[in-house]
Amino acid sequence: MKKIQLTCAHAIVKYLISQKILVDGKKLPLFPGAFGIFGHGNVACLGQALEENKKELPTWRGHHEQNMALTGIAYARAKRRRQIFIATSSVGPGSTNLLTAAAVAMSNRLPILFLPGDTYANRIPDPVLQQVEHFNNPNVTQNDAFKYVCRYFDRLTRPEQILQTLPQAIQTMLDPADCGPACISLSQDVQGEVFDYPEEFFKEKIHSIRRPRADDFQIKQAVEIIKKSKNPIIISGGGVFYSDAMKELSNFAKKHNIPTAQTVMGYSTMKKDDPYFIGAIGGFGGKATNNFIKKTDLAIAVGTKLADFTTGSWSNFENPKFKLISVNVSRFDANKHMAQSVIGDAKISLLDISNELGNWKAPNDWYKNSRKAVDEWNNYLEKESGPTNQKLPSYAHVAGAVYRKSDSSDIAVTAAGGLVGEVLQVWRPRELNTHETEWGFSCMSYEISGALGIKMANPKKEVISFVGDGSYLLYNSDIYSSVITNHKLIIIVCDNGGHAVINRLQLYKGGKEFNCLFDSSKIDNLKTIDFAKHAESLGAKGENVHSISELEEAFVRAKKSKTTYIISIKTDGYKWLEGSAYWESPTLTKPSTKENEKALKDHLEGKSKQRQGV
C-alpha cells in the first residue's frame, strides 16, 4: 500500500476535503467551509494546513467562538444536514466558548465538526498556558466538557489515530438517527507530528444519507391504531425537513383527511394554504387550534422529539382515549411517551403507512371542525397583527408589518424570548422552508449568527432576523461579519426594555418585577441605546422608527439595500398573543402573596391534566 508522509494537521484537512456528498444528484463538498479563531493551540499547525488549502476548504474568520459555531449550525440546518461546517478554536477559553454552541447542535440534532486545540500529549511543558488541571486525573482537560454536549468525542494523542476517528465522527454526523456534533480534540504537539498515511485514506469518498425503513410489524400496529381513531391529528416536526418529506406529509394528510399541526422546528413544512394546515401546536399554538387539539384521540407525531412546548408539558391532550404514534428515525425519540413507535425515515414511513391504510379516511366532521378553528385563529391574528397607531406596538404588530411587506420566499429567523412565539403565529408560511428557528436550546444570540448561516446557505433569498434588545446586546458582532462577507441580512430589533418575556413569566408566577427589565434592575444611570447607530458603526445601514407605518416604509428600503440593514423599534413589553397551552415551570408551593396563590392554583390545574407515564 502506497504511503504519503504528512503532519497530522495536514492529513486532517486533506481527508476532510476528500469527503463529498450527493445532494439531488449533484456531488458537493461534505465540508463547504470552516470557521476559525486562531490562537496558540491551533494557528501554527492546523492554521497553516487550512491556509495552504483555502481554495478547497475556505476558512471564515470568526469574532467569537460560540457565534461562529452557531452560524455553522444554522447553515447545516438550512442545508437539511447534508453539508457540515467545521469550527476550530485555540486551547482554553477558545475551546470552552464553543460549548454552548455544541449544546445547541446536540439538542437540535444538528451536525458540526469541532476541532479545538488541547494541551500537549507528551505533558512535558505542563501546565501549559490556558490549561485547567485536574489534580487526580492528568488525562482530563477542559475539553472533556465536550463529551457531554457532543454525539462523538475523541482526543488525538497520536497522529495515526485519525485513521479510525475521522471516519467515525463523519458517520455519526451523517447518521439520521444519531446526528449531532462531533469533537476531535487536537493535542498541540500531535498536530505537528508526521506519520506515513495510506494514500487510500485520502481517496475521494462520496456519501449519501441513508433512509432506514420501519419494521413491517410496527407499520401494521400503527395502522391498526389509526383505523380505530375518530379524531386524529398529525404533528409535523423538524425531521420532516431532514427527510425532505414535505410532499409526502401533505399527500398523507389529504388522502386520509387528517388535520396537521406543526412544531416550532417543523414550522413551514406545510404551507398555510394547504387545506390540512392548522398551524402551530402547544405553547406557541393559537388558542383556537390548541382547544381543537385537546379533543384529539390520536396524534401521529412525525420527526419530532415532542418537547414540552409542543405537548403543553403533556397537558394538551385531554381526551381520555388519547393514543400516540411516533414516526421517527431515532429509536430514542420514537419510544418516548408510551408511543407506538415507527422507527424509520419519515418520507418512507409515511408512504408505507399510507399504503397499508389504503382508502381509510378520518371522519369529515372532525376535519370541518379543524377549518373552523383555523378561521377563528386567522381572524384573531389579522386583528392583533394588523396596522396600528398605538404608541408602543406589540411584537405581533411588528411581525405583521414585516409579513405584509415581505415576499413569500423571505425567510424569518428567531431563536429566544417572546419573539419566537409571536413571529411563529403571524408568519404563516406562504412557501415551504421559510421559517427557521432554534428552539431545542433556545439560545440567545442565534438570531443574528444563525441568520448569517441561513443566508450563506440561501444567498438568493432575503433572510429576516427578529431579535429582542436583550439578545442583541448579548452578541451582535456577526452584523460586521455579514457586512464584510456580503451576506446581507435584514435585522428587526424589538426594543422592549430588557428581557420582557422572562419578566412576563416572573409576573405570571406571582413574583414582582425584578432584574429582567432595565427599569427593575439595579441601574443608577440608565441610558437609551441607539441600535441603528451601533449597527452603522459595524458597517450596516440602520434606522430607528417610531410607528408601524414607519416600520413598513423602512422595511421596503431595507429590501432594496445591498448591505445588512437594521431597523429598531420600541415595542410593548406587556402585550402578547393569546395562548391556551399549559407550560410547567418552577412554582412556589408555599405562596406568600395573593399573586403566588393564583400562580400555584394555575400550576396545579395544569398539572392535573398532564398525561402520566411520559
* Among candidate residues 372, 394, 413, the one where a domain is terminated: 372
Strand, coil or helix: 327: strand
Residue 65 belongs to some domain of the structure: yes
Whether residue 613 has pLDDT greater than 80: no
For residues 171 and 151, what is the distance between their CA atoms, to the nearest angstrom?
Answer: 11
Task: Tell me, yes or no, whether 64 and 100 share the same domain.
Answer: yes
Cβ contact 184:154 at 8 Å: yes
Strands 26-29 and 19-23 come out as antiparallel
For residues 580 and 83, what is the distance between their CA atoms, to the nearest angstrom?
Answer: 38
Whether residue 286 has pLDDT greater than 90: no
Residue 580 belongs to some domain of the structure: no
Looking at residues 433-462, what average pLDDT do you find? Answer: 97
Sign of CA dihedral 182, 188, 191, 196: negative
Task: Tell me, yes or no, whether 60 and 167 share the same domain.
Answer: yes
Task: Tell me, yes or no, whether 190 and 235 share the same domain.
Answer: no
Residue 81 belongs to some domain of the structure: yes
Task: Tell me, yes or no, whether 56 and 106 share the same domain.
Answer: yes
Task: Tell me, yes or no, whether 41 and 179 share the same domain.
Answer: yes
The per-residue DSSP string of 21-76 comes to: EEETTEEEES---EEE---TTTTTTHHHHHHHTTTTS-EEEPSSHHHHHHHHHHHH
pLDDT in tens, 95-134: 999 999 999 999 999 999 999 999 999 999 999 998 899 9
Task: Tell me, yes or no, whether 414 and 558 share the same domain.
Answer: yes
Contacts of 104 (CB under 8 A, 6+ apart): 70, 73, 110, 438, 440, 441, 443, 446
Percent over 90 (pLDDT), the chain: 95
Task: Tell me, yes or no, whether 553 and 507 share the same domain.
Answer: yes
Task: Tell me, yes or no, whether 187 and 265 share the same domain.
Answer: no
Whether residue 449 has pLDDT greater than 60: yes
Cβ contact 360:227 at 8 Å: yes
pLDDT in tens, 463-475: 999 999 999 999 9
Residue 296 belongs to some domain of the structure: yes
Burial of 27 (0-12, 13-18, 19+ CB in 10 A): exposed
Backbone angles phi, psi at 56, to 5 degrees: -80, -30
How far is it between the farthest Cα atoms of the chain?
A: 79
Specify the amino acid at residue 100. T
- The residues facing 196 across adjacent strands are 5
Q: What is the pLDDT of residue 579?
A: 78
Grid cell 395544569 is found at 606
For residues 192 and 48, what is the distance between their CA atoms, to the nearest angstrom?
Answer: 10
Task: Tell me, yes or no, whether 391 and 338 share the same domain.
Answer: no
Whether residue 421 has pLDDT greater than 60: yes
Q: What is the pLDDT of residue 1?
A: 86
Task: Tell me, yes or no, whether 44 and 174 share the same domain.
Answer: yes
Task: Tell me, yes or no, whether 358 and 399 share the same domain.
Answer: no
Task: Tell me, yes or no, whether 236 and 322 share the same domain.
Answer: yes
- Helical spans, DSSP H, in 82-197: 93-96, 99-107, 162-174, 188-192
Residue 380 belongs to some domain of the structure: no
Q: Which three cell numbers stand for residue 517?
A: 427589565
pLDDT in tens, 310-365: 999 999 999 999 999 999 999 999 999 899 999 999 999 999 999 999 999 999 99
Specify the amino acid at residue 239. G
Burial of 266 (0-12, 13-18, 19+ CB in 10 A): buried
CB atoms within 10 A of CB 349: 29
Residue 156's region, left for phi above 0, alpha for psi from -120 to 50, else beta, is beta
Looking at residues 539-549, what average pLDDT do you find? Answer: 98
Backbone angles phi, psi at 307, to 5 degrees: -75, 170
Q: What is the CATH number of the domain that holds 46?
A: 3.40.50.970
Angle between helices 395-405 and 548-560 (to 10 degrees): 40
What total number of domains does the chain contain?
3
**Predicted TM-score of the model (pTM):** 0.97
Residue 591 belongs to some domain of the structure: no
pLDDT in tens, 186-212: 999 999 999 999 999 999 999 999 999
Domain containing 435 equals: 386-570
Strand, coil or helix: 333: helix
Looking at residues 390-399, what average pLDDT do you find? Answer: 96
For residues 26 and 369, what is the distance between their CA atoms, to the nearest angstrom?
Answer: 44
For residues 295 and 357, what is the distance between their CA atoms, to the nearest angstrom?
Answer: 23
Grid cell 423538524 is found at 238
Cβ contact 431:271 at 8 Å: yes
Q: What is the CATH number of the domain that holds 322?
A: 3.40.50.1220
Cβ contact 490:567 at 8 Å: yes
Cβ contact 68:35 at 8 Å: yes
Burial of 442 (0-12, 13-18, 19+ CB in 10 A): middle
* Among candidate residues 155, 180, 207, the one where a domain is terminated: 207
Q: What is the pLDDT of residue 568?
A: 98
* Among candidate residues 570, 585, 603, the one where a domain is terminated: 570
Give 614's pLDDT tier (boundaries 50, 70, 90): low
Strands 194-198 and 3-7 come out as antiparallel
Residue 603 belongs to some domain of the structure: no
Cβ contact 87:60 at 8 Å: no
Contacts of 477 (CB under 8 A, 6+ apart): 63, 64, 67, 538
For residues 9 and 308, what is the distance between their CA atoms, to the nearest angstrom?
Answer: 43
Residue 128 belongs to some domain of the structure: yes
pLDDT in tens, 214-250: 999 999 999 999 999 999 999 999 999 999 999 999 9
For residues 397 and 440, what is the distance between their CA atoms, to the nearest angstrom?
Answer: 26
Order across the sheet with 340-343: list the strands: 277-280, 260-262, 232-236, 298-302, 323-328, 340-343
Write down the number of H helices and E strands in the chain: 24, 23
Stated as kind and residue range, the H or E segment containing 414 is: strand 411-414
